[in-house]
Amino acid sequence: MNTTLIAIIFVIVAPVLGGLIYGIERKIKARMQQRIGPPILQPFYDFFKLAQKRTFIVHSTHAFLGIMHFVSLWFALAVLIFGGDFILVIYLHLLSTALLIIAGYSTRSVFSHLGANRLAITALAYEPVLILIAVSLYMVTGSFNISSISTLEEPLIVKMPLAFVALLLVLPIKLKKSPFDIAEAHQEITGGAEIEYSGIFFEFLYTAKWLDYIFAYALVYLFVASNFFLAITVLILTFLFINALDNSTARVDYKQMLKFIFWTALPAALLNLLWVTL
């Protein structure tokens, strides 16, 4: 089958695949906590249930920003899957986050403002690491083009192990997993920037989380794209690592999160850049 056609199909079904990953994750987390857990298809049941809920709109701009948050994230994922420019992928990903932050600030809810503040701080934590990884990729391959990067014979995880470690450290922040789930923190700010969304508009945010899973694991796959069996192994181990961390750690505050990232992931990414440069 044509590679372009495969990429198109994958982009179209990406939200569904993300929903399945979320369902499997919930099942595994339940087993880790000695519970039966919901069925794997529960995210889709929730999706259709949300469609039946009454929709309340704070104002039209707030609703539009929520939709564009989903659209821009899907577009970033499409550029990544089609092998486009990695810098453009990071920019679109940041744009998606920024739209949700602005949406959070556009309401009068204190919880929404707190969530927007924390979302901005988390972006400050992981985006510089992604930029450094992108620069390291350029130093190794001579290109920001993902299609060129993915055709390397030797896996990037071998060429840039410190960059992969840095990516692993920031993925829980991107996916809002413990101990870095400060942007949602339902026990503290009842959902954060997404709190004022309901019904069909909340579905855009709910489905965007599924796209986040595909986006995150696509970045992991990029490091092992040249070896299929190694890729499957690394993806499974990464999935188990994130969920084990999520189930065994307590939430930290934003200062602790920034300190952790600036003393671990950021130095790892900088050392990796120095290594590949020399």
| Helix (H), strand (E), coil (C) string for 67-136 | HHHHHHHHHHHHHHHCCCEHHHHHHHHHHHHHHHHHHHHCCCCHHHHHHHHHHHHHHHHHHHHHHHHHHH
At CA 27, angle to CA 25 and CA 32, rounded to 5?
Answer: 90
| Percent share of the chain, pLDDT over 90 | 45
Domain ranges for the chain: 3-277
Decide: helix, strand or coil at residue 35: coil
Separation between Cα atoms, residue 96 and residue 191, nearest integer Å: 18
64 by DSSP, 3-state: which?
Answer: helix
Give the span between the Cα atoms of 239 and 250, in whole angstroms: 19
Q: What is the pLDDT of residue 1?
A: 56
Please indicate whether residue 189 or residue 142 has the higher confidence score (pLDDT).
142
| Average pLDDT of the chain, as a whole number | 88
Report residue 125's pLDDT band, with 50, 70 and 90 as the boundaries. confident
Separation CA 118–CA 173 (nearest Å): 11
Q: Cβ neighbours of residue 7 under 8 Å, at least 6 residues apart? A: 81, 82, 83
* Residue pLDDT, tens place only, 43-98: 999 888 887 887 788 888 989 999 999 999 999 999 999 988 899 999 999 999 99
Confirm whether pTM is higher than 0.85.
Answer: yes
The pLDDT tens digits of the residues spanning 206-239 come to: 899 999 999 999 999 999 987 888 999 999 999 9
What's the rounded Cα separation, in Å, for the pair 19 and 208? 10
Residues 6+ apart with CB under 8 A from 151: 226
Give me the residues paired with residue 85 across strands. 145
Region 149-164: mean pLDDT is 86
- Indicate if the pLDDT at residue 7 is higher than 80: yes
Query: For position 50, what pLDDT does the model report?
Result: 81
Name the band, by pLDDT with cuts 50, 70 and 90, for residue 165.
very high
